[in-house]
Amino acid sequence: MMNKPEIITSRTNKKIKDASSLLSSRERKKTGLFICEGARLCADAAQNGVEIEQLFITEKAADTYREAFCSLGKAAKQTFFIDESAAEKLSDTASSQNIFCVCRKKNDPRSFESKGFYLLTDNVQSPDNLGALARSSEAFGAAGLIVCSGCDIYSPKALRASMGALLRFPVFVRESCAEAARELKKLGFSVFGSVPDKNALDVRFAEKGEKTALIIGNEGAGISEETKKECAGFVTIPMAGRAESLNAAAAGAVLLWEFTGRNDMYGGFYGKHS
């Protein structure tokens, strides 16, 4: 039986200040901790082996999200009831569920799978794009996502946009995308870059082998020159009209669909097109 939690009624309380500092990526880097907001995301963390240091929750939220409260209360090392002003200080959303966990960052999965499809992001900056790419990678059965610099995978916005996929799914963090590409190549993977360039290979005709990786570049600058040198080739999504490019998350979804969901995952219904 859990003891009656301590009640925090001040937004200047040290524990609240420490937890809210995790809304900044610098503090997350320094401490190795991050903050999860919302019943669903906190539950995703708990169910996926993420260590939960602290649970902060308003009494009302504990009542509303009773089930989440019980399981998180068991998983967390410490539980605190907080009032709404403290909750506001921890929240990154417009309408908060007033339930927060301070978690320890996960270790990377030990190693890459010996086959499958990997998506790499080379300095993708937008947390919305990163989150959506993680969500699509999971939905289309990729083997994993390799996030190379750019947006922090523990950004509250990215976690939300991923609907928890960043916590559930095999996500690797690397400083250098070129280095990650070399790692994959050593394992026998073919590494392709995606580019908005009519002269690149139409993605429909790309070989969809069982050891393939694809790089999505930065929203403005695309794939870095250093990373491009590691690519076996470049694929593109043909476009009409005056559009010059797609949003990174939209392009990623279509590429994932072509390389995994559409072709292999369901028994390659249409056969290999290449």
Chain residues in the site for a second copy (CB under 8 A): 128, 131-132, 135-136, 138-141, 161, 163, 165, 168-169, 204, 237-247, 249-254, 257, 261-262, 265-266, 269-270, 273
Residue 68 CB, shortest distance to a second copy, in Å, is: 17
Residue 225 CB, shortest distance to a second copy, in Å, is: 24
- Identity of the residue, 78 or 96, whose beta carbon is nearer to a second copy in the bound complex: 96
Q: Is 234 exposed, middle or buried (0-12, 13-18, 19+ CB in 10 A)?
A: middle
- Identity of the residue, 49 or 241, whose beta carbon is nearer to a second copy in the bound complex: 241
Residue 196 CB, shortest distance to a second copy, in Å, is: 9
Residue 5 CB, shortest distance to a second copy, in Å, is: 30
Q: CA–CA separation, 187 vs 256, rounded Å? A: 21
- Identity of the residue, 82 or 161, whose beta carbon is nearer to a second copy in the bound complex: 161
Q: Is the distance from CB of 16 to CB of 89 less than 8 angstroms?
A: yes
Q: CA–CA separation, 101 vs 117, rounded Å? A: 32
Closest CA to 193 of 222, 155, 154: 222
- In degrees, rounded to 5, the angle at the alpha carbon of residue 227 between the alpha carbons of residues 224 and 225 is 40
- In degrees, rounded to 5, the angle at the alpha carbon of residue 132 between the alpha carbons of residues 270 and 157 is 170
- Identity of the residue, 142 or 181, whose beta carbon is nearer to a second copy in the bound complex: 142
Closest CA to 46 of 70, 22, 65: 70
- Identity of the residue, 40 or 104, whose beta carbon is nearer to a second copy in the bound complex: 40
Amino acid of residue 180? A
**DSSP bridge partners of 148:** 122, 174
Closest CA to 259 of 192, 165, 163, 198: 192
- Identity of the residue, 78 or 125, whose beta carbon is nearer to a second copy in the bound complex: 125
Q: CA–CA separation, 219 vs 77, rounded Å? A: 39
Residue 142 CB, shortest distance to a second copy, in Å, is: 9
- Identity of the residue, 67 or 225, whose beta carbon is nearer to a second copy in the bound complex: 67
Residue 128 CB, shortest distance to a second copy, in Å, is: 6
Residue 35 CB, shortest distance to a second copy, in Å, is: 22
